[in-house]
Chains A and B, each alone.
Chain A
């Protein structure tokens, strides 16, 4: 199987210092860090998980941060579930979108990506692929960063947080779509970055409790789907792919039904579109499954997923090592979809060749 959302972590953000330019290194080494000296700079979201984000059994034997120990990740995930590829999405890195200063945000993005190359992609484990993290509030800096790393075969997508100052179809992000599609990299949006600069209120105001917020993880995903379609991202860049990671899935059909209906009535606002919103979505948008909605009647979920051709548009993900991890051995999806959702959709999206299995224990 191909796991499309694995959170590799640093044990301390000090690991990034060697990859920072001198000016920003000073800022991070000596400057204010609300979380303390080992923490990563970001403007925190207003909701705090009352038990912590990580699975309680994912702390490595050496101690330290879940997801920071490659050997333990092999034991708990890569080897345990016989994973063909794991798409690494980092952990806190996408929170750079919350910072007001775009130069700092982009400097951190560069450091994160260099850390990823040196600490993960250079391990010699061909199962690992990674994401080019960029600062969406700095489109020019983000485009330059994508171009810098476009040639590295270990990176399979561009990655930003779902929290943003504007939804991702806005022309403000044009340079990022340019660079991503030029490089042949999908534009992936992962749940997160909902705070700081991105504290734009939802029409009814923010939720209060963490579980209330978590159930609403679709909100930002909805905004980006509607925006990229309406602004004609998929007309202007026919090769573009939008990937939503950890934004849920069962809400998408209802949104597409409404987008189609409203577009049919008010098409005049967006004359650059030549197809229905749902048609753009079917071709250009992919969603990771985790956390998969879990209704009492499984058939209700299947009906919703059939409405979005889930067999071809869903990407299996565990979200290891987070608390809302989806167990690949107990994932409730139509049996006939298994090969496509667990592997082939990701293989096509990311251009992953079939791997000849390597016996475990052969990597030094």
Chain B
């Protein structure tokens, strides 16, 4: 599915598109394109409206905190859960995963690859999230 011309999605930008009732965010991160479902696996919050930023890891020194992976960590707009922009995996528990989609550039056009079989494979809830069943 065509998203836009590549020229319309410069580095550091994102676009949100509607596909079959889903919202998918397409991101250009230093020339690499990534797409994620705009629905956080935590509580359904808007993942793709969140900040794309870095994260931290333990580091030596008087302040034992190092800043790493700038621009490659997507924080959900609601509760701030961190997901790797490329794999959609949660930084806290890699088994928890936002749904991702392949993105291609064909003739200067950004194309979202919507593979039915892959979607079904990712449709199972990750382990460890027992509470996503809705109230209804």
Shortest Cβ distance from residue A10 to the other chain B in the assembled complex, whole angstroms:
22
| Minimum Cβ distance to chain A for residue B49 (Å) | 4
Query: Would B46 and A298 count as touching, CB distance under 8 A?
Result: no
Say yes or no: A325 contacts B78, CB within 8 Å.
yes
Query: Contacts A56-B75, A57-B49, A329-B44; is A294 near B80 (CB within 8 Å)?
Result: no
Once A298-B130, A327-B45, A329-B44 are accepted as A-B contacts, the answer to whether A57 and B50 lie under 8 Å apart by CB is: yes
Q: Is the interface of A mostly helix, strand, loop or mixed?
A: loop
Give bound CA distance, A57 to B23, whole Å. Answer: 14
- Please report the C-alpha to C-alpha distance between residue A56 and residue B134 in the assembled complex, in whole angstroms: 23
Cα-based distance from A326 to B135 in the complex (angstroms): 12
The reply to whether A55 and B43 contact each other, CB–CB distance below 8 Å, is no
Nearest-Cβ distance from residue B40 to partner chain A, whole angstroms: 10
With A56-B49, A56-B50, A296-B130 already in contact, the answer to whether A331 and B135 are too (CB < 8 A) is yes
B132 within 8 A of A: yes
Q: Kindly report which residue of chain A lies nearest to residue B136, judged by CB atoms.
A: A329
Q: Tell me what chain B mostly uses at the interface: helix, strand, loop, or mixed.
A: loop
Which of B43, B49, B77 touches A330 (beta carbons < 8 Å)? B43
A335 and B78 contact, Cβ closer than 8 Å, known pairs A56-B49, A57-B50, A296-B128: no
Q: Would you call A330 and B130 a contact (CB within 8 A)?
A: no
Q: Which of A296, A297, A323, A329 contacts B135 (CB 8 A)?
A: A329
Cβ A55 vs Cβ B134 within 8 A:
no
* A327 proximity list for chain B (CB < 8 A): 43-45, 78
Q: For A54, give the chain B residue with the smallest CB separation.
A: B77
B63 interface residue (CB < 8 Å to A): no
Assess whether B79 is interfacial by the CB under 8 Å rule. yes
Q: How many residues of A contact B (CB 8 A)?
A: 22
Best-surrounded residue of B80, B128, B133 (most CB of chain A within 10 A): B80
Q: Which of A321-353 contact B (CB under 8 A)?
A: 323-333, 335, 338
Whether A51 sits at the interface, judged by CB under 8 Å, is: yes
Which chain B residues (65-80) contact chain A, with CB distance < 8 Å? 75, 77-80
The residues of A that contact B44 with a CB separation of less than 8 Å are 327, 329-330
Q: How far is the CB of A178 from chain B (nearest CB, A)?
A: 40
* Distance in Å: Cβ of A218 to nearest Cβ of chain B: 18
Determine if B79 and A338 form an interchain contact, defined as CB atoms under 8 angstroms apart. no
Instruction: Classify chain B: how many residues form its interface, as a range.
Output: 20 to 34
Task: Report the Cα distance A335→B79, complex, angstroms.
Answer: 25
Kindly state the separation between the CA atoms of A39 and B51 in the bound complex, as whole angstroms. Answer: 24
A338 contact from B77, B80, B131, B135, Cβ within 8 A? B135
Within the complex, the shortest CB–CB distance from A303 to chain B, in Å, comes to 15
Q: Which of A57, A324, A333 has the most CB of B within 10 A?
A: A57
Contact with B along A32-56 (1 / 0, CB 8 A): 0000000000000000000100011
Q: How far is the CA of A294 from the CA of B80 in the complex (A)?
A: 16
Chain A residues closer than 8 Å to B50, beta-carbon distance: 56-57
Nearest CB of chain B from residue A200's CB, rounded to whole Å = 29
Write the B34-53 contact mask toward A (1 if CB under 8 angstroms, else 0).
00000000011110011100
Complex interface bits, A292-333 against B, C-beta within 8 A gives 1, otherwise 0: 001011100000000000000000000000011111111111
Cβ-closest chain B residue relative to A51: B80
- Partner of A323 from the list B49, B79, B133, B134 (CB cut-off 8 Å) is B79
Residues of A contacting B78 in the complex (Cβ-Cβ under 8 angstroms): 55-57, 323, 325, 327
B131/A332 in contact, CB under 8 A = yes
A-B contact pairs, 16 of them (CB 8 A): A51-B75, A55-B78, A56-B51, A56-B75, A57-B77, A296-B130, A323-B78, A325-B45, A325-B79, A327-B44, A329-B44, A329-B135, A330-B135, A331-B135, A332-B131, A333-B135
User: Could you list 12 further interchain pairs (A-B, Cβ under 8 angstroms) beyond the known A55-B77, A55-B78, A56-B78?
Assistant: A51-B80, A55-B45, A56-B50, A296-B130, A297-B130, A323-B80, A327-B45, A327-B78, A330-B44, A332-B133, A332-B135, A333-B135
